[in-house]
Each structure stands twice: as structure tokens, then as C-alpha cells.
Amino acid sequence: MKLSVIIPALNEECYLGGTISALRTNSRSGGPYEIIVCDTGSSDRTAEVASGSGAVLVRNGSREPGKAGALNIGADFATGDVLLFLDADTIVPGAYDSLIEQSLADAGVVGGAFEFSLDGGGFGLRGVEFLNRVR
């Protein structure tokens, strides 16, 4: 499996390095085939963090504005046979790549999502997590 990870980003310098590091550290196979960061016009050091961490940096420009446009442009650049769309502040679980590969071994599976947990202790955050799991 050649896994391409596509990360849309707008002013994500605080999170992006940790997300990219986790993609490599939490991988069972040593990391994804490629990591593509599609910057949608950041005014911080997002582009430098992406480039400095070995990700392919793509600038969204005005062809398709917003997050959806960034995801589409990133997918256009991807050369892997499996795409993982990931927010810039997301830490993937351990062995995430093996989990994806196992899921896709079932011919009836065409996509999926990981469950997530949010930082913080508020009751509202637990509600969001619950609703996501139900969905």
C-alpha cells in the first residue's frame, strides 16, 4: 500500500510539526509513502514547518478556495494508491497504517474514519466525541 497523507493547512505552525512527526512515529511501516501539506494562505510559519519536516508543500492559491479546495488540490498531487485526509492538529493512533491496510483488505470497504478524542476536560467536548462515535 502506498499511503498518501493530505493535510490542508491555514496558520497551523503550532500543530503541524507534531502531526507530521506522529505520522512517522506511529506508523508500523516507517511512515507514509508521502505527506502533502496544502497551504491555503497561511501568514505564520506553516510553510516552513511543512518543508522542514520533509512534507511536500503545495500552495492552494485561488483555484479552489477553502478546505475542500485544499483537499482536492492535495489529492491531485498525490501519487499513492490510498489517500488519508488529515487535519493539521490530528495525532494518528499507533499502527494507523496497518489498521487502514487491514480495513481495505475487505473488498466491501471503500473508506473509513478513525474515532477521535479531543484535548480538554469540558463536558461539551465529551458530547462531541460521543456524537462522532454514534455517527
What mean pLDDT value characterizes the chain? Answer: 89
Sign, CA torsion 31/37/42/45: positive
Second-level CATH architecture of 3-134 = Alpha-Beta Complex (3.90)
d(CA 61, CA 113): 28
Domain ranges of the chain: 3-134
User: For residue range 53-96, what is the model confidence (pLDDT) as tens digits?
Assistant: 999 999 877 667 788 999 999 999 999 999 999 999 888 999 99
Please tell me the predicted confidence (pLDDT) of residue 118: 65
What's the mean pLDDT in 113-123?
Answer: 72
Residue 3, phi then psi, degrees to nearest 5: -95, 120
The whole-angstrom distance between residue 107's C-alpha and the CA centroid of its chain comes to 24
- Beta-carbon contacts of residue 27 (< 8 Å; ≥ 6 apart): 95, 96, 97
Instruction: Give the global pTM.
Output: 0.87
